[in-house]
Each structure stands twice: as structure tokens, then as C-alpha cells.
A and B are shown apart, each in its own frame.
Chain A
């Protein structure tokens, strides 16, 4: 019953936290304990005996490890959230998201994946926020439609054109599901963090993307692989360029943060599209760093972004800028090394394009680091932890890759 518990415990935790919202201490304790139990079961699934499932569910290693990181990121963010943050709301939304992501990873077929993605997106879009529900459902709704279209095309016939169209549809569904260019949702800077599209791209997106890729890639077939790879690389470069230039030139700091996520996702898409082990490893690492480093840092930058605290540029901010820029020995450095190595294996001019993107990247890192102000109290602990995670991913990427079965 391992996969069922990994899925069910966070779901029950989310329900409990939501039901006991008016009693925050009980809600946090109950939801937190159930979330922790779910994470322990996820970790135990590495043991083959724990993988037996009543419903025939299976959680592959790669999405499972990223789900564990999602749980870790959620624990850190809830425990060390800025004082004004709604911690119960954050926990309930995070646990519901974890349950949904586990369901996507364990879903037995594309139709089930589409149902879960639709539910997850609708749940996220229904959170109180600045944008109307239909606007927030546009990108994930399109993702579900494209996913179903891709699955239908795969069943349409044996002609290569169907395989290519299916690959096109599935890649576009992945990009739409993550909320990337050209399906970028509208951003309201004042929106609460759990309801923001940044939360979708930064917290739900990484595990969702890896789960979708694990589901889609084996079904694409030889005729569809060139379309799958080239489209992912193309959209990756587009997001990298859009993200780096956007984060540098954006008017507001919230927008700059949002674009910085796109830049990271650009690297991830390129890595996935190269369809070589180094590329996949780079994508995996960059998505892990989005979860453990960039998204928590965005949360701790919220007081400055909402003008509740002043921006600052102290020594800690310089260190943060280095981490966000992908300097050695932080996570971004190993990502870049792996990605450039993969690019030289596949098509060397791609390495030049990526190198240019990485160079422009430097411009916005200092801007983002300033928005963390002078962290104190819980935020300071959080910033130190995020830097620690970045350092760990940069110095020992093999540990995470081994956890993900790569």
C-alpha cells in the first residue's frame, strides 16, 4: 500500500489543515505530521518490498525523489515563512499539491494524468487570488486539452505524421502545464504567494514536469523523438532568453523574480530536449534547485517585494547573488557544466547559445539578491538553509541524481 499511502497521507493532511484552519496550531501540527508521514512513506518506497500497491500504482524513482524534495521545500517554507505569511494556507495548499503530484507520478495512464492535472490546476486556480478563475485556468486547461489530444493522436494510426503531431502536442502540454512561454499566465504582484503563478511554476511545476516526462517520453516512439527533442530545446532557448532578458529589464521586482524562474525552466527544457543522460541530469538538478533554492528565496523576498521591508545589498546578498547566478560551488554551476557537456555531445553550436544566455544571466542575479533585504529571524535561517541546499546540490549533485535513479 506504499504508493497509496504516499498519495493519501498528504491529501488527508491537506483536508485536516483546511478543516482546522481556525485553530492554526492544531492545523499545523496535524497537517505537518501527516505530511511528514507521507514523506517517510515516499522515502521508504525506495525499498522494493514497500512498492506493492493495491491499486497497481507505481511511483518511478525520478519523480519520487523530486516529490521528496517538494516535501522538504514545503517543510522549510512553512516552518520558516515570513511572519505575515498564512502558514496554514501554505501548508494546506502545499500538501494538496504534493498529493496531486504523487497522483500524477503514479497515474496508470495519460487519461488519469489529465484528470489529476485538471484537478490540481483547478484547486490552485480556486485559491483566493487577484486573477479571475477562468484566466488562471487558461494555461493548465490548455495543457490538459493538449495532453488528451496527444494521447488521441498516439492512438490515431501508425503513420509517422501522427507520432510527430502527438509529440508536438505532448511537448506543448508540458510547457503549458508548467506555465512557461508561450503560455505565460498573467501575474498580479499583490497576489498571495500560494495562489500566484510563481508558486505553480516554482513549487508544483518541477515534480509535475518530471512526472509528465517520465510518462510521455517512453510513449513517443522513434518518429516522434526528433520533434519532441527539437521542440523542447527550441522552447527552452526561448524561455532562457525571455527569462534572462525579462528579469534584467522588468519594471517590477516581482516580475523580475518571475522571469528568473523562466530562465531556470529554459535550462531544464533544453536539458530534457537533448535526450542524453547529461542533459536529463542537468534538467533534474535545475528543477531541484528551483524547488529548494529559488522558490523559497522568492518567498523570503516577499516582504521587500510587497514594500513591507527595505531592499539591501550586504555581504549575505552578494553571496545570494552568486548562488542565483550559478557561480561555483553552488547548484547552478554543476547544472551549467552538465548542460554544456550535453550540448557539445548533441550539437556544439547549441553550447554557444546556452553560454550567451548564461552570461546575460549575471545581470539580474544582483537585482534579485537585493530584494531579500537584510534577513533576520526565521527568514535569516531560511536564507542560510537555501544557500546550504544550493551548496549541497553544487558540491554533491551525484547524491540527488542517484536518489532519482539517474
Chain B
């Protein structure tokens, strides 16, 4: 790899779209989530204070590796002006890095609080379908190429997969008690261990790659004015949807989350596979 490419990747990892930008977006989203999910703890200022109080003072190894993986996933996004060449970004790399980061968190969090590995595995399987099904038609794994296919035959499939992706976001982002061994945003006042603090920080870093991958896969990208405005708006919109779904699910009786994913999202994933199979037959 030439030195300038290496520099570009490093810049992407540490500054944009990873590192600093992921931290800023993640902090904003995390504060918003804490405010929406636990309103009884006060307004936005209280949510911000509570979130900033949890900043880790050390970098425990499993959490630090998970941070690197989350930021590596962010470098694969079709973000405007990304220093990573478009040809070198890959959806599969982003998906694998995000799943690996999640399972590093689970290596610490197994059996903690209300966390359910079965539910998370189900959601991850559904999410992988949502990420990979739209690439079948174009036969391409580059996020910007998939995002560009917005017209014609791919609309029904992208619609189904986009909705599946959004439905999976609350669990992937560890916003639900069943998917967050470190506790959902706003529920933890003080971290009990450096690892807990590290994995709370991991969630902050997951917002950008998880929501940004949604934008990259389902919306056209580019460096024009519209694309520059669209990327952050859609990314933050996806984050808002995730918070809204999580806020509704946490308000419901226990077990509803599992029902949602196992009885609703899983059959819908099967339906998305059917749509993928019918697309070449029904849409010309």
C-alpha cells in the first residue's frame, strides 16, 4: 500500500469519518438517547453531565480493541470527502468489524444484567441479511455503489432491507436492556469497573459506523452539496429512529423486545429474502 493511502486510512481511522467525528456524533447521540430513554433523570443538560461522567480513564484491552474495530468500520462508510479511496471501502469489512466489536463487548458482558445473547445473535443475523441482500443484484460490496442504486428494480428490496436495518439498530447500538450488558444509555450513574466504562465508551463510538452504514447502503453518496447535507442528516435520522424504537420498547412489558425481534423482525427477514428472490422476476 502506498504511503499516501496509508496516511489516508490513518486519517480516516483517527479523525474522519472515524475517531474524532465518530466521537462527536456518538456523544451527541448518546446524550440524546439518555435524555429520551430516562426522562425522569432531568433535561438534556443532566443527560450530558451523566454521559460525560462515564468517560473512561483507562483503556482496558478488550474495550480498546472494540474501539479500534468500531472506528475501522467507520472508515468504510461512504461519507463525503472520506480520505479512504472509494474502491477500497467494503461493506463486508464494516459488517465484520461491527460484529466483532459487539462480541468483544459480549466476551465481558455475558450473563450481566438483563442481557440476552440469543436475542443479540438473532438481531445480528437479521442485520447481516439487511446489509448483504441489497448487494446481490448489483453484485457489488462497495457501500457507495449500493447506495447509488436507488431507482428501478432495487426499490422494494432496499425498502425491506432498510426497514430491517432500522429495526435492528436499537439492539446493535446496545440501547435495549436485553442487548446492553453495560446497561442502556442513561441508566448507569457510575461505572463499576474499567471494562464497564470502556464498553460504555464503545457504544459512543458505535453510533457513527452503525447509523452511517445505513446511510451509505441505502442513500446515494458523493461529494456534492446535496450529498454533504444528506449524509449527516440521514445518519442522525437513523439514530433518532433507533432512539425512538428503543424508547418505545423499554416502556413496554418485559419480553416485548424478544417478541418484536423473534416474531416480527425474523419473519420479515424471511420476507425480505422472498423479495430478493422475486425482484428479478417481477421488476424489469
Which residues of A come within 8 Å of B, CB atoms? 12, 15-16, 18-23, 54-56, 103, 107-112, 114-116, 118-119, 122, 126, 128, 133-134, 144, 148, 151-152, 155
Compute how far the CA of A16 lies from the CA of B244 in the bound complex, rounded to whole angstroms: 7
Taking A18-B248, A109-B283, A133-B259 as contacts, is the C-beta distance between A115 and B160 under 8 angstroms?
yes
Do the beta carbons of B251 and A148 come within 8 Å of each other? no
Taking A128-B252, A148-B278 as contacts, is the C-beta distance between A111 and B283 under 8 angstroms?
yes
Do the beta carbons of A126 and B260 come within 8 Å of each other? yes
Q: Hey, which chain B residues are within 8 Å of A108, CB to CB?
A: 152, 155
Q: Among A15, A56, A148, point to the contact of B244 (Cβ < 8 A).
A: A15
Q: Among B156, B260, B271, B274, point to the contact of A112 (Cβ < 8 A).
A: B156
Do the beta carbons of B263 and A134 come within 8 Å of each other? yes
Whether, in the assembled complex, B1 has its beta carbon less than 8 Å from a beta carbon of chain A, the answer is: no
Q: Hey, which chain A residues are within 8 Å of B160, CB to CB?
A: 115, 119
What count of chain B residues pass the 8 Å CB interface test?
33
In chain B between 152 and 168, which residues have their CB closer than 8 angstroms to a CB of chain A?
152, 155-156, 159-160, 163
Nearest-Cβ distance from residue B23 to partner chain A, whole angstroms: 23
Taking A122-B268, A152-B278, A152-B282 as contacts, is the C-beta distance between A116 and B251 under 8 angstroms?
no
Nearest-Cβ distance from residue B217 to partner chain A, whole angstroms: 16
In chain B between 266 and 284, which residues have their CB closer than 8 angstroms to a CB of chain A?
268, 271, 274-275, 278-279, 281-283
Whether, in the assembled complex, B92 has its beta carbon less than 8 Å from a beta carbon of chain A, the answer is: no
Q: Hey, which chain B residues are within 8 Å of A110, CB to CB?
A: 282
Give the interface SS of chain A, mostly helix, strand, loop or mixed. helix
CB closest chain-B residue, reference A128: B252
Do the beta carbons of B264 and A133 come within 8 Å of each other? yes
Q: Among A20, A118, A151, point to the contact of B36 (Cβ < 8 A).
A: A20
Do the beta carbons of A115 and B159 come within 8 Å of each other? yes
In chain B between 59 and 75, which residues have their CB closer than 8 angstroms to a CB of chain A?
none
Nearest-Cβ distance from residue B147 to partner chain A, whole angstroms: 13
Do the beta carbons of B278 and A116 come within 8 Å of each other? no
Listed A/B pairs (24) with beta-carbon separation below 8 Å:
A15-B244, A16-B240, A16-B244, A18-B244, A18-B248, A23-B39, A54-B150, A55-B155, A107-B155, A107-B156, A111-B156, A111-B278, A112-B159, A118-B268, A118-B271, A119-B268, A128-B252, A144-B271, A148-B282, A151-B282, A152-B281, A152-B282, A155-B281, A155-B282
Whether, in the assembled complex, B45 has its beta carbon less than 8 Å from a beta carbon of chain A, the answer is: no
CB closest chain-A residue, reference B281: A155
Q: Hey, which chain B residues are within 8 Å of A128, CB to CB?
A: 252
Whether, in the assembled complex, B247 has its beta carbon less than 8 Å from a beta carbon of chain A, the answer is: yes
Compute how far the CA of A144 lies from the CA of B271 in the bound complex, rounded to whole angstroms: 10
Compute how far the CA of A144 lies from the CA of B274 in the bound complex, rounded to whole angstroms: 12
Taking A19-B243, A152-B281, A155-B282 as contacts, is the C-beta distance between A114 and B264 under 8 angstroms?
no
Nearest-Cβ distance from residue A14 to partner chain B, whole angstroms: 8
CB closest chain-A residue, reference B241: A15
Compute how far the CA of A38 lies from the CA of B45 in the bound complex, rounded to whole angstroms: 31
